[in-house]
Homo-oligomer: A and B are copies of this chain.
Amino acid sequence: MKLRSVVLLAAMLMAGSTGFTQTTIIEDFKPSPFNQPFQAYPQVNSQGYARFRIYAPNADSVRVSLGLGGQGGTKLLKADSGYFIGTTAGPMDEGFHYYRVNVDGATFNDPGTGFFYGSQRWESGIEIPSKDQDMYALKDVPHGNMQHIIFPSKSTNTQRAAIVYTPPGYEKGNTKYPVLYLQHGWGENETSWAVQGKTNLIMDNMIASGRIKPFIVVMTYGMTNTGAPIGRRPAPPPPAAGTSATPPPAPPAGGGMGAPGVVATGITAGEITGVGAFQTVLLDELIPYIDAHFRTKADRDNRAMAGLSMGGFETHTITLAKPEVFGYWGLLSGGNYTPAQLEGKMKPKFIFISYGSKETRGAEGLPKVEADLKAAGYKVATYVSPGTAHEFQSWRRSLYEMAPSLFK
């Protein structure tokens, strides 16, 4: 065999390409923790493989959108029982993943899982085991409450939704608490940090262990659902004869779908909302409502803002436009601050910036970002989540890493 062929073959063997080498899949599959009651599938194993089983007795093809990148997800194979079954070709990253199911060209959710708002729709979701899942485990410790509130917004002429985490013990006495305003990403809503992010469980556990002193977390809808249709959905056809030509409805400001209380928003599909519109809601309407209805320390030193992805972009824009509002700023897979951007502005008490390790450009640039900010006199901490990408495990860990530095 020519040397080139030997080298190529060796490389393929080492890369584990299908057909040459295969990791042995450990058959310790268990139902994903985010399944619906009574649903055995999908399942996950200790290595991070995901296995799907969907009943579609007369379908020709069923494919789930999870699987190795660039391979179009995982094609399931039909068994005689009418179930389509398949396992991802490789392990998934730790933590939470959105997905959907394609059945002969139609998009549906997997009846086995719960619903998770992302990509402008309620998606299916799966939870891959993680070495650090103890961080967000449901434990027998004192629990905070997740308060679903409705606040009025003159600027959008609507009643809007937010979820407010009040820490355990909040109901006792007259203590006032600092507040973290925590924003979701594009196509998500106020439930995304709460459910996918497991914010309350991470907070409960950090408080119980003494890692942090208690504070309030406010999660609202950041108006990051633009009207633009997402890639995979077909464009709606012109209304057929006999159907009404009503435009698509305004997306609610969150809530309603398995969360109590449908609230309306002034955002209509097709309207691209700028960060400015959200800035007005946050600064002029939500913060005053929170300060009036919760026992908050209502000053800059006790107010933080952080966000993931587009929520980080919003944080970046709003903190630089109004640096006097928040004392602590966090960007989670959501860009960087530079000394040039900060020059001449009221100085933040602390900056936190993080990425998943697989977000290579952000992660590899982070040491320089940190060094530059420190050299310019800013207090900053950065964090790279090992083995994760632009996904929720990076952000759960980032919340865990960032929280102890807030309000100090």
Contact = CB atoms under 8 A, between A and B. Distances in A.
A95 to B, nearest CB: 14
A143 B159 contact: yes
Interface residues of A, number: 96
A37 B251 contact: yes
A278 interface: no
Contact of A248 (B27, B40, B227, B256): B40
A106 B103 contact: yes
Interface stretch (A144-152, A322-330, A369-377): A144-152
Interface string A210-243: 0000000000000001010100001011001011
Interface in A43-64: 43, 51, 53-60
Nearest to A170: B293
A244 interface: yes
Nearest to A125: B257
Given A28-B244, A246-B30, A251 B38 contact: yes
A295 B171 CA distance: 9
Given A35-B249, A36-B122, A138-B150, A256 B114 contact: yes
A81 interface: yes
A58 B59 CA distance: 9
A243 B51 contact: yes
A121 interface: yes
Interface stretch (A194-202, A383-391, A398-406): A194-202
Q: How many copies does the complex hold?
A: 2
A115 interface: yes
A335 interface: no
A317 to B, nearest CB: 23
Contact of A106 (B39, B57, B251, B262): B57
B249 A40 contact: yes
A29 B245 CA distance: 9
A262 B139 CA distance: 11
Interface string A239-281: 0101110111111100011111111100001000000000000
B259 A195 contact: yes
A146 B147 contact: yes
A33 B151 CA distance: 19
Contact of A191 (B120, B236, B242, B258): B258
A40 B83 contact: no
B38 A120 contact: yes
A13 interface: no
A138 B263 contact: yes
A82 interface: yes
A120 B103 CA distance: 24
A294 interface: yes
A109 interface: yes
B249 A171 contact: no
Nearest to A227: B38
A152 B139 CA distance: 10
Contacts of A130: none
30 contacts: A29-B244, A31-B248, A36-B121, A36-B257, A37-B120, A37-B121, A37-B251, A37-B269, A38-B229, A38-B248, A38-B251, A39-B249, A40-B246, A55-B106, A55-B107, A56-B103, A56-B105, A56-B106, A58-B106, A79-B240, A108-B108, A108-B109, A114-B256, A138-B261, A143-B149, A143-B150, A145-B164, A146-B261, A148-B148, A195-B257
Interface of A: 27-31, 33-40, 43, 51, 53-60, 79, 81-83, 85, 103-109, 111, 114-117, 120-122, 138-140, 143, 145-152, 159, 163-164, 171, 191, 194-195, 198-201, 225, 227, 229, 234, 236-237, 240, 242-244, 246-252, 256-264, 269, 293-295
